[in-house]
Structure 1
Amino acid sequence: MTAYEEQEDLDRLKAWWKNYGNSVIFGILLGVVILVGFRYWTQHTEQQLHAAAGLYERMFQDIHGKKSGDARKTGESLINEYSATPYAGMAGLMLARLDFEAGDVAKARERLQWVLEHADDAAVKHAARLRLARIHLGSGDKEAALALLNIKDRAGFEAEYEELKGDVFVAQGQREAARSAYREALKHLPAGSPYAPMLNMKLDDLGPEKAS
């Protein structure tokens, strides 16, 4: 390569850098910011999960130690400070149970509604929905209970939904609809399930099936 060609290449490089240099620098800086931000977010998320897990464990121990007051305080702190973690939904379920056992049905209903709206874990949401439906049924609001149970995505909880639907139908005096729901629940139970005898008892309580 001659000195002229080298100078020509250098001039092209200078011209390119003049036109695109700022964009290159910005791209590099943006990449660094994104990488640092991602690492910070990952570390922050792990810290949040670790702290929430510790509070949940403490709440669990308080409940088993019959320290409901301490369990409430811990659960409230968990939900207020770490609502974005999966542990918040589980804490909400336990707080709702404490409220219900204390006779505060309205508060239990409020807690379960919060879990239903904010929890990310499907199993936690199903648990909240089923418990909320039971509370509505126990309060005499059969239509509200049925509305909660009539959903399509019930994967893994079909038996629980169908059994509770059967209970609602019994309360409404719809014996044949209840019979159908209990039978559907039995279909979804695994072989040898300890819940099968109870469902069969509910079927027996309905009396003889109407002749078609």
Structure 2
Amino acid sequence: MSAVNVLAASLLLALVSSMASASDPSPLQDFCAAINDTKSAVFVNGKFCKSPNLTTADDFFFTGLNVPRSTANPLGSNVTPVNVDNLPGLNTLGISLARVDYAPDGGLNPPHTHPRGTEVLLVLQGTLYAGFVTSSPDNRLIAKVLKPGDVFVFPLGLIHFQFNIGKTNAVAIAALSSQNPGLITIANAVFGSNPPINPDALAKAFQLDKQIVEDLQKKF
């Protein structure tokens, strides 16, 4: 094998290894409570770190997930995240939480993905129809009706949703394998991008009339 081929093979192996291990960075210290003051911090793992000697219990504390949130919106749902932005002590730990409230008779956490985290959903109240779609070429729907005490997992990066099929409010807690898992809501991303995607392209992609696409873009 020539030297060029050996170098190319080595680079490819390094790239594959890097992709295979992609995840939140492992902690290099006991903790790294996030801080916005860049003048007195060291930059690691995506957030500046407060000096360990200056951390307090409040850096590792969040309250309020017991409080119901309003679902008076077009989707009938409300997500209360607990991530590194409002719980600094999560920095570098690779986990986060969210409370999700659903309105009766159709409250929807719409199809979305978390590009940096797998999600485990625990239903506390109500009845949810939840599922995810596998990647191409199958695009297979894997879904189930969930009741209080049920747990369902949504693999990293796959489109998933939850829909309240019950007559009462529903509540769930989501745990995610990233301190900042990210969120891509499919409808918002496709029809509400800034600047807008060319409607001709979307009309062809979704096999819709161009006017329908333009109406959807106005909604988002």
- Highest CA radius of gyration, 1 or 2? 1
The structure whose residues are more often helix, as a share, is 1
The structure whose residues are more often strand, as a share, is 2
Q: Shorter-chain TM-score category? A: under 0.3
Q: RCO higher in 1 or 2 (8 Å CA, sep ≥ 6)?
A: 2
TM-score, with normalisation over the residues of structure 1? 0.24
